[in-house]
Each structure stands twice: as structure tokens, then as C-alpha cells.
Amino acid sequence: NLLQVIERDVDRNVEIIDLALQAVIENLKLTGLAEISPRFRQRILFDRAVNAKDLGVMLVLDENGDTAFDAADWPARRLNSAERPYFRAHRADAGLGLHISRPLISQLTAKPVIVLSRRIAKPDGSFGGVVLGSLSLSYFDRLFDRIKLGRAGTIALFLHDGTRLVRHPEPNPELAPNFANSPNVQRFLREGSGSFVGTTPSDRIERLYTFTQVGGLPLILTVALSTREIEAEWWAKAVVIGGL
């Protein structure tokens, strides 16, 4: 199943990055970490990051939003992310767990990314900062580009608030558009998985939409194929079979 193949790839990739984030949080608790040489400390903190092939930037931010550790360099590249929505979300909610951001432009790479992050707690339970890993939107382009969609087919990934993370193909990309008021997206979010025939207001093309929740993540993956192209392919096969 086309949708399942893509869903499993996205789910597994997010899981690998999340495991790397959780490993950093656990490694920060190690006794004597501050006395270890900086280079060796880097290897200990970010040992799981090597398994995340599509991981971009990986940082530890302190409670003020300043970079404390940077998987790519020591000393850490100077950056303050206190005003980023993901940082404010973790500071406000101790039980948030894994947070997946809306698409944003990385301050370090200047490329569009989504940020996966987790809260760091101090020994007394208070807010101690955030560990984050970025995933470039180009990962989704490479993944989706392997799929044959026809001329009018599309693949899209949405957050549960209706924000579209990525759409492929997308000739005029807009960063983080929200479609919470779209009837199609409302149906995706309400039902979680399924299929239906509908039209897209922007181009009025009738498509067969198939959609599914991505694992246990707040993500909905959709594949939309033109009904006209599906019918044309069916008739072409019928003609071949009829001529045998």
C-alpha cells in the first residue's frame, strides 16, 4: 500500500530522531559530565545522533534559550531561541513530551525545517531547557519524489492544528500555511484515516483522497490522485485485456 510505505518511513524517521533526543536528556544526568573534556563530552551526549541520517541541527538549549551544547561543534554556535514557539511551549507545559513544530527557517542553516524537541527538567522538576533536532523539509521532497502520482496527484503532511508541513509537488511553496477551515482537512483530522472523493478549491480538480494518521504522532499523511487519471489508466488496461 502506497500510503503505508510512506507513513512507516516518516514514523520511523521521527522515532529515530526522538530516541536521539531522549538519549541526550539521559546523558545530561550522568555524574561527572562537566569534568569530562569537551570533545569526549560531545561524543557522550550525542552518541545516538549518528543513527539519525536525516537529522540536521541538534542542540541543547539552557533555560534562557541559549545554546549550551551543539552536536556539530564545540564551543556551541551562539544562538538564542527563547522566542521560538517550541521553546515557549516546553517552558509552559512540563508534560508536553515530543513537540513537532510548524515549518520555520533555521537560524543556523537558513533552510526550511521542522523542529522536533523535548523538555529538559532540572533535578527539582523545574524547567531546565530544551533539546532539539531539526529535520529538513527536503527529506520529504526526496521521499515523496519516489512516488508516481500522475500529473495532478499530490502528497501532503499536516499537523493536527491544520498546518500543512509539506506538499509535493509544490510549484509555489508557502511556509506553514494553515488549512484548519478546509472541509477536506477537517475530515482528515476528524476521521484519522480513510478515503473519499473530493475537490481542491484552488484548482477544482476531483481527486481520490486517501489519508492516515502517522503512528502515534500528531501528523496526518494524505495522498490525492486525480480521478480522471485513475479512470484513464483503468480504461487503458481494460482495452489491453479486452484485446487478448
Does pLDDT of 3 surpass 90?
no
Verify that 71 and 183 share a domain, yes or no: no
Q: Do 98 and 18 form a contact (C-beta atoms < 8 A)?
A: yes
Verify that 114 and 196 share a domain, yes or no: no
Verify that 214 and 116 share a domain, yes or no: no
Verify that 132 and 74 share a domain, yes or no: yes
Does pLDDT of 106 surpass 50?
yes
Would you state the pLDDT for residue 239? 43
Would you state the pLDDT for residue 44? 87
| Within-domain flag for 33 | yes
Q: How far, in Å, CA of 59 to CA of 79, rounded?
A: 10
| Within-domain flag for 183 | yes
| Within-domain flag for 239 | no
Lowest-confidence segment of 11-15, 28-32, 119-123 by average pLDDT: 28-32
- State what percent of residues in the chain have pLDDT above 90: 64
| Within-domain flag for 166 | yes
The domain of 121 spans: 2-137
Cis before 75? omega within 30: yes
Verify that 114 and 203 share a domain, yes or no: no
| Within-domain flag for 93 | yes
**109, 137, 165 — which closes off a domain?**
137
Verify that 43 and 78 share a domain, yes or no: yes
Would you state the pLDDT for residue 234? 52
**84, 114, 137 — which closes off a domain?**
137
Q: How many domains does the chain have?
A: 2
Average of per-residue pLDDT across 113-132: 96
Verify that 111 and 202 share a domain, yes or no: no
| Within-domain flag for 13 | yes
Q: What is the CATH number of the domain that holds 76?
A: 3.30.450.20
Radius of gyration of the chain (CA): 21
| Within-domain flag for 103 | yes
| Within-domain flag for 167 | yes
Verify that 173 and 118 share a domain, yes or no: no
Place of cell 502517522: 214
Contacts 24+ apart (CB under 8 A), 37-41: 38/74, 38/75, 39/74, 41/69
Verify that 119 and 176 share a domain, yes or no: no
Cis before 85? omega within 30: no
Q: Do 157 and 166 form a contact (C-beta atoms < 8 A)?
A: yes
Verify that 206 and 112 share a domain, yes or no: no
Verify that 100 and 19 share a domain, yes or no: yes
Entry pTM = 0.88
Verify that 68 and 184 share a domain, yes or no: no
